[in-house]
Structures are given as structure tokens and as C-alpha cells.
Amino acid sequence: MRILYTLIIYLFSPFILFLLYRPRHGKPGFGSRWKEHLGWIPAPLKSAPLWIHAVSVGETIAVTPLIKALKQRHPDLPILLTTTTRTGADQAARLGSLVEHRYAPLDYPGAVARFLRTANPRALLIMETELWPNLLAQCGQKKIPVAILNARLSERSCQRYQHIRHFFQHMSRALTLLLCQHHDDAARFKRLGVDKNKLLITGSIKFDIQMDQAQIENGEQYRQQLGNRPVWIAASTHKGEDEKILRAHQILLQQIPNALLVLVPRHPERFNDVALLCQNQGFSLCRRSEQRSVAADEQILLGDSMGEMAYYFQMADLAFMGGSLVPVGGHNLLEPAALAKPTLIGPHYFNFSDITRQLIAKQACQVIHNDDELAATVQELLLAKEKQHQMGMAAFDVVAANQGALEKSLNALESILSQR
């Protein structure tokens, strides 16, 4: 089965490489480092590093508290952090000397072999359920321990894997530990044949969120400059979603003329396009990159910067999370929840269903289905300070109640770190 899988990925190589490397307006490329995706990497500065893989920005942010905690426990432990995307690499750069960064090899046998030969990792930690057959097979052959952090498996994915259950079971033999978010996740992995002795329920380390205090303070200062002006944020928005958000803001301005929208597109290559969209629809606009205060007559602050979400969330009274009015699957609501912000989300939140449902159950989050409903809900919350406060504190309580996964994960990983 793995031979067939490898033939398929070689067959689709032109398409895969085109998607990864195609030039896009405003999106920085990989430069000369593109070769790292094929396993040609510079040797790490220190031998036998702990390899941690986080695909992109979200996973890199989520694994950052674990990296910091590992370095506190083991100051001399070298850590090699890989990402697949350039934006993930930019986020990794914020960790400075805590890690060395490389791009992860694509799952071609030769690329994986070259990477492992040069990196020579003592163990591999994979953030969330990124299971690549050739990578796992070669780690198994080299007896490199592999642990999955924040492991999750939806019922739909479990049913799909049932069709290739024997292949999945064979692939999972290379796994040393699966640190599952919930009992349901562990049960589904067990149904697919994963040895129960490899399964631990630790919760999600995403709840052990560590906010950038400098950003929070700067966001609060900016908020004070805005005075009593009502502010809402639409965060991590996607193409096809901004139009709906802008229409909702137009409706809102008819009732609350001084309302300010903080609009933060998910992908930096869209910053200029979204700015043009706002201007074409008649909105007066301030861009974060201009490094100035929003004027009283400006209706939108465009968040055209990376890695400043805590800053943006802190200045807002409530948060709408993007990727959910279009079928992207939503994004993580934990950051605004940890800042005690009421949260709104569209119906397409399947990538973060558990966290979102917990917030909904505690009346900390509301699901909205279209731009009219978004406008009405934002208006209601901006005018109802008491409900706004109640929802925000309920969101904070959900985050606090789920914390502790980081410590459980660290303790579970000690057995892996001591193997080499």
C-alpha cells in the first residue's frame, strides 16, 4: 500500500510543487531555501536535536509554550523546528535562539532520507495529526521515537480511515505516543488498531495559551486612545468572506455611526486586495502598517501585519472569527476567549468544533449564518455591555477550565527524551 501511495505522490508531483511554489501577489517565496523541502538542509548546529514539526502559523503558535517549557526543563536540549509554509517559518523566527528552523521534507522517500541523515534527530514531535507514511516508515526503521501532540481524529476521518484500516495500523506502528485531546479521539484511534498503550489523554495544549503581554498592553493603550468608540474585530478572514463582513459593517454603521471594524485578513498576500475592496465600497480606511492612530471619521482599521493578533483582539469589544462564513473550517477561538472577549463564528467551524462547542455550551460564543445576522448580533452586543461582559467572562472560564495539558504532555514526553 505504501508503494502505491508513493507512486501516486510522484505522479502528482508537478501539481503539488506548483501549489507550493507558484508565485502569488504579496506572498513571499521560499528563495534559495526551497531545496529544504526536498531534504537538502544545512546540518543543525548541535547534534541529535529534538525535531518538532508544526505545519504553519497556527501550529507554530500552539507549540510555542511547549518549546519554552522544554527549554526550561532541559536548557541544553537542541530543538529543530520545521514548518512547511513560509508564514510558519516567519512565526518560527520569533522564537529566536530557542530553536533552529528548517523547512520540513515533502513525503518523498529520498527527501525524507536526506533530511533524517543530515538532521539525525533524537526524536520527532508532530503537532496535531500530520501522519505521513514515508516519514513514519523511515523513522521506524531508524528507531526514532515519534509522538503526536494534540492528536485528534474526527468521526468522519475515522470512518474514511476504516477503508484502509490495515494500512493505517501498519503506519501507526512507528508511533511511540499519541497524546490525544479527548477520550473520543483516543477511542477512534483505538478503533483503527492503534495499541492502547500508546494512547494518552492529555487535553489540548492550545488551552495553555501564553499571550504576548507587550502586545496586550499596546492593544489596551490603543483602545484607550479610541475612547468610548465601539470596536469589533473580524479576524483571520478569507476570500469571499470580507464582502459579507463589509456589508454587515455598512448595516451596523446605520445604527452605530462611530463603530470601528478591525479587519484582519488571514493571508498577507491579500492585504492590498482587501484594502482596495474596502476603499471601492466607500469605507475610509487606516492601515496598521501606517503606524498611526485611526482618525475619528475612519471606519476600518486594516490589520495588515503578522503575529499581532493579541494586539488586535485586545483593542476590540468583541470578536468574529473568520474562515467560518465560507467553508474553510474556521479558526481557533482561544485567543479572544483567553482575553475575555465575546466571540462570534459562522456555521463552518468544523476544524475547531470541540473548542467552539464548549464555548457555545457556556453561552460564550454565538453562531451567525449571514451578513444580516452578523450585523444584528454585533449591534446587540456593542449596545449591551452587561451581556458583552458575561459572554467574555464565560469564554475566559472555558479556557481556564481546560488548562493543564501542557504539564501532562511534558511529563509524557520525558520517556521519549531519555531514550537517546
User: Are 51 and 185 part of one and the same domain?
Assistant: yes
Beta strands in 196-334 (DSSP E): 199-201, 231-237, 260-265, 285-287, 300-302, 318-321
- Cell readout for 367 is 453562531
Q: What would the pLDDT profile of 381-391 be if each residue is shown by its tens digit?
A: 999 999 999 99
Whether residue 51 is predicted with pLDDT greater than 90 in this model: the reply is yes
User: Are 396 and 407 part of one and the same domain?
Assistant: no
Whether residue 229 is predicted with pLDDT greater than 90 in this model: the reply is yes
User: Are 407 and 390 part of one and the same domain?
Assistant: no
Is residue 121 within 8 Å of residue 50, measured between CB atoms?
yes
Q: Is 17 inside any structural domain?
A: no
Q: Which single residue is written with the C-alpha cell 478503533?
A: 191
User: Are 310 and 294 part of one and the same domain?
Assistant: yes
Residue 85 is part of a domain; what is its CATH number? 3.40.50.11720
- Within 13 Å of residue 210, how many CA atoms lie on the same side as its CB? 13
Distance CA 177, CA 196 (A): 10
Q: What's the one-letter identity of residue 367?
A: V
- Domain carrying residue 364: 213-401
H/E stretch holding 279 reads helix 271-280
Residue 369 is part of a domain; what is its CATH number? 3.40.50.2000
Q: Is 13 inside any structural domain?
A: no
Among 36, 59, 100, 335, the one annotated catalytic: 59
User: Are 397 and 407 part of one and the same domain?
Assistant: no
Beta strands in 154-311 (DSSP E): 177-180, 199-201, 231-237, 260-265, 285-287, 300-302
User: Are 43 and 94 part of one and the same domain?
Assistant: yes
Q: Is 139 inside any structural domain?
A: yes
pLDDT given for residue 178 in this prediction: 96
Q: Is 3 inside any structural domain?
A: no
Distance CA 28, CA 337 (A): 31
Three-state DSSP state, 340: coil
Torsion sign (Cα): 377, 380, 381, 387? negative
Whether residue 25 is predicted with pLDDT greater than 80 in this model: the reply is no
User: Are 68 and 150 part of one and the same domain?
Assistant: yes
Distance CA 55, CA 277 (A): 30
H/E stretch holding 83 reads strand 79-83
Whether residue 154 is predicted with pLDDT greater than 60 in this model: the reply is yes
User: Are 28 and 168 part of one and the same domain?
Assistant: yes
User: Are 225 and 165 part of one and the same domain?
Assistant: no
Across the strands, what pairs with 80? 51, 100
Least confident of 8-17, 273-282, 314-323: 8-17
Closest to 303 (Cα-Cα) out of 332, 275, 338, 343: 275
Q: What is the CA radius of gyration of the chain?
A: 22
Q: Is 10 inside any structural domain?
A: no
Q: Is 150 left (phi over 0), alpha (psi -120 to 50) or beta?
A: left
Q: Is 185 inside any structural domain?
A: yes
User: Are 196 and 289 part of one and the same domain?
Assistant: no
Three-state DSSP state, 173: coil
Q: Structurally, how many domains does the chain consist of? A: 2
Q: Which single residue is written with the C-alpha cell 534527530?
A: 121
Is residue 328 within 8 Å of residue 314, measured between CB atoms?
no
pLDDT given for residue 420 in this prediction: 57
236 to 169, 262, 268, 324, 386: CA distances (angstroms):
36, 11, 10, 10, 27
Whether 59 is a known active-site residue: answer yes
Q: What is the pTM of this model?
A: 0.73
Q: What would the pLDDT profile of 359-380 be if each residue is shown by its tens digit?
A: 999 999 999 999 999 999 999 9
Q: Is 7 inside any structural domain?
A: no
Q: What would the pLDDT profile of 65-86 be if each residue is shown by its tens digit?
A: 999 999 999 999 999 999 998 8
Q: Is 53 inside any structural domain?
A: yes
User: Are 218 and 321 part of one and the same domain?
Assistant: yes
User: Are 70 and 164 part of one and the same domain?
Assistant: yes
